[in-house]
Structure 1
Amino acid sequence: MYTNHEIDRDAFIRGNQPRYVQLANTLINEITDGKYQIGDLLPTEQDMCVQFGVSRFTVREALKKLVQSGLVTRQPGVGSKVISTQMTTAYSQNIMDISDFYRYATDTSLVIQSSEIITITAEQADMLEGSAGETWLFLIGNRFSEKSELPISYTEIWINPAFRAIKGIMGKRSEAIHSEIEKQFGETVVKVEQTITATSLTKKQANALQVKSGSPSLCIARKYRNRKGELIELSISHHPETRFSYNSVFVKNNIPA
């Protein structure tokens, strides 16, 4: 599973999107608007390269998005067949640089349900790179995509004591918490460290996500750092299976001809 989020067509056309995302958006529109019916085959990779003036890599990445959205299936020797004209309710997140973390926040909404100042323990201090006795702001909330009533994640957020007086963060938010820290305190996030692990949901997490306790989940921990390398925010999100997928693109530079 990838962080499997719902693919929002409108989100594809916001900002400077990669060519494969633009192509995927076009194909999704054509399928959902009825140009292609269930059982139809999409043009071949070679035909798409010619039609859209793009590389085969771009076409293949775009088709991956359609497979993840539940619209097509790909079979060797057959091609890309339309299996649905409605996208699934899973949300698919693409990360290529820090700006994509901001886009993720605007493509979904985070509902902060609790806020508490916590005096951290030695164990928590190790996780937060601080010292026992420090007072961090601790937030709990659920994240939703636009086309699903069920939450796509149960999220815990720890905010450095220097920013614990942050204002206006309760309730439904369509902007990243770290973006609000930047605005209110003049900070700049220059680095995000991400760790992805497979876990099982606790009873509390499962209840919030409306699934069974012990269900498998994808846990994504992100550390947001400023120019000094200091940890200003730690977010830990638990995503139940089938509601979130996660895509990354890695490019090798200076490949010899």
Structure 2
Amino acid sequence: MQICLQVFRNFFNIFFEKNISCMFFYLQMRRAMKKYQIIYKDLEKAIHDQKYQVGDFLPTEQELVQSYQVSRDTIRKALTLLVEEGLVKKIHGSGSQVINQEQINFPVSDLTSYQELIVQQGLNSQTNVISLDKIIVDSKLSERTGFSNSRQVWRVVRQRVVDSCASVIDIDYLDTSLVPQLNRNIAEHSIYDYIENQLNLSISHAFKEITIDNATDQDKILIDLGKDQHVVCIRSKVYLTNGKQFQFTESRHKLEKFKFVDYAKRRH
């Protein structure tokens, strides 16, 4: 019995000391943080704990000023951090609204159009066509895309906005000899649907390369990167069933918005 009591006392002392140490560390950390960082952490936790759910608005700036007894500038710094982390979006005249944090499951091995993924996963998305033109492939672009030198191609730049967050830039090059007509309406909806159902071409397979790239100036303008300095980049050469390459696409993704999944099977 005495041994059991001694074991219990030892356990209690260790447990108590560790928890006191953890609490002391937490308080020291809070003291070291600036006020706007503390407010940011509090609101971040409230969002993750679903006190504020998707679609809810955070308390107004004035309410937060009164609650924390700080300046409006301090509150705005905290809210800016939440925006940069993709937790909320600012709506003029309404305040800060919590946005969806779900990632899109992007199957690496499948050849699925962006529009098909959005429909499958029930996400709210908008496509903005930034530019659409015809260009002649030079030697540098030929090496990058796989299209022969001097070939004419369509160049399409599209911005994908998922749940109010600009998340993807798609840069497509399409062989004009195989896709002679293209317009902004087609590009806004689904190029693959047009190719398969209007041009009656059969898309077969693609070779994909996935890298983490430094964000370009274009990325910083067209994607809501926050503090991120990198993007996930998928480069694909896409072929028809007759073996002809009709497309090269470069998809540049916001890091935390997308999840890439695959199915692997061991060979025997």
Query: Which of the five TM-score ranges fits, normalised by the shorter chain?
Result: 0.5 to 0.7
How far the C-alpha of 1:210 sits from its partner, in A, is 3.1
Normalised by the size of structure 1, how large is the TM-score?
Answer: 0.57
Alignment RMSD: 3.0
- 5+ unaligned residues in a row in structure 1: which ranges? 1-36, 39-85
1:191 counterpart (191, 196, 205): 205
Indicate how the Cα distance of structure 1 residues 100 and 211 shifts in structure 2: closer, same or farther if over 3 A, else same: closer
Q: Residue in 1 aligned with 2:107?
A: 94
Instruction: Give matches, 1:210-249, under 5 Å.
Output: 210-211=224-225, 215-249=229-263
How far the C-alpha of 1:219 sits from its partner, in A, is 0.1
1:201 aligns with 2:252: no
1:155 aligns with 2:175: no
- How far apart are the structure 2 equivalents of 1:149 and 1:87? 9
**What percent of counterpart residues are identical?**
11
Q: Residue in 2 aligned with 1:111?
A: 128
Deviations, residues 202-247 of structure 1 (Å, cap 9, x unaligned): 1112111133697111001122101122111111011122111111
- How far apart are the structure 2 equivalents of 1:205 and 1:222? 18
Amino acid at match of 2:104: Y
Stretch of structure 1 that moved more, 163-172 or 119-128? 163-172
SS of the residue 2:166 aligns to: coil
Q: Determine which structure has the larger helix proportion and give its number.
A: 2
Q: Residue in 2 aligned with 1:127?
A: 144
- How far apart are the structure 2 equivalents of 1:163 and 1:100? 18
Q: Which has the larger radius of gyration?
A: 2
Q: Give the paired residue count.
A: 169
Where in structure 1 do 4 or more consecutive aligned residues deviate above 6 Å? none
How far the C-alpha of 1:130 sits from its partner, in A, is 2.7
Q: Residue in 1 aligned with 2:180?
A: 165
- How far apart are the structure 1 equivalents of 2:224 and 2:115? 27
- 5+ unaligned residues in a row in structure 2: which ranges? 1-48, 51-98
1:128 touches 1:234 (CA, 8 Å); kept in 2? yes
Normalised by the size of structure 2, how large is the TM-score?
Answer: 0.54
1:106 touches 1:174 (CA, 8 Å); kept in 2? no
- How far apart are the structure 1 equivalents of 2:187 and 2:151? 28
Amino acid at match of 1:194: K
- How far apart are the structure 2 equivalents of 1:165 and 1:105? 27
Stretch of structure 1 that moved more, 192-201 or 156-165? 156-165
If asked which structure has higher relative contact order (CA below 8 Å, sep 6+), I would say 1
Q: Residue in 2 aligned with 1:77?
A: none
